[in-house]
Homo-oligomer: A and B are copies of this chain.
Amino acid sequence: MMHVEHVQAQKLFSIGDLAEEHSISPRTIRFYEDQGLIAPSRIGGARIYTARDRARLKLILRGKRLGFSLADIKELLDLYDTDRSQVTQLQATLKKGRQRIADLEQQLRDLTVTLEELREIEGDVLHLLGSKGTTDKN
């Protein structure tokens, strides 16, 4: 942690903090910044991350776990950031958001089917191992 704990309560993080917390490299975080996914403020040259920046990073990583490209994730983040006063913007957001929802619903179906199949295999394998005299709980 940065040496600011008792200075302010606003919880700030260094790039190293976030890297370690999420088991990624600082290089990765800088790359995300290069791609416009996150924009920390600076103190001198050093990047300084607020709790909001950290939440954004978590969103990025969740997107990655879902198999999104960084470009996809950028669009996703833009949905959260939409200017709520511009009707045209809102309409674009709605359209993109609905497309993303449809994609995720497809992914949900794929996921469900795959999980079912894997669980079936697990059952089969357990049954086979049992009938072969193995008593293994591993």
Contacts and interface: CB of A to CB of B under 8 A. Distances in A.
Nearest to A104: B115
Interface in A19-65: 62-63, 65
Contact of A97 (B91, B118, B138): B118
A82 B94 CA distance: 46
Contacts of A132: 87, 90
Given A95-B138, A104-B114, A125 B65 contact: no
A129 B66 contact: no
Contacts of A65: 67, 106-107, 110
B94 A129 contact: yes
Interface string A83-103: 010010011011101101100
A121 interface: yes
A94 B126 contact: yes
Given A87-B132, A114-B66, A94 B122 contact: yes
Interface string A104-124: 111110110111011101101
Contacts of A119: 101
A134 interface: yes
The 10 A-B pairs with the shortest beta carbon distances in the complex, nearest first, are: A67-B67, A94-B125, A62-B110, A101-B118, A65-B110, A90-B125, A104-B115, A97-B122, A66-B110, A90-B129
